Amino acid sequence: MTGRDPAVEAAQRAWDGTDCHGFASQGHAMESAARAALAPIRELHKPYLCHCDTPHHACEGCLEEWPCDTARLIYTSEELTND
């Protein structure tokens, strides 16, 4: 493969972000890589308080009501309920 691969880049960021590359398990390594892959998307889709006639939380990236459809795919249910 000669092109850029976001999945490979995310896995490398996750690998580089560990001390001595010591993952507790294969599952932990996979979870870390998935979180690294989702990080740029999470930067686009995050909640903000809309100060309009009826204040409410909206998605900063797509301006839909929070949580937007994308947020439901990239945040844990705990993160969505603790906003």
- According to the model, what pLDDT value does residue 20 have? 52
CA atoms within 13 Å, Cβ hemisphere of 47: 14
pLDDT (tens place) for every residue of the chain, 83 residues total: 567 888 888 888 877 776 655 666 777 778 888 888 999 999 999 999 998 898 899 999 999 999 999 999 999 999 998 75
- According to the model, what pLDDT value does residue 22 have? 61
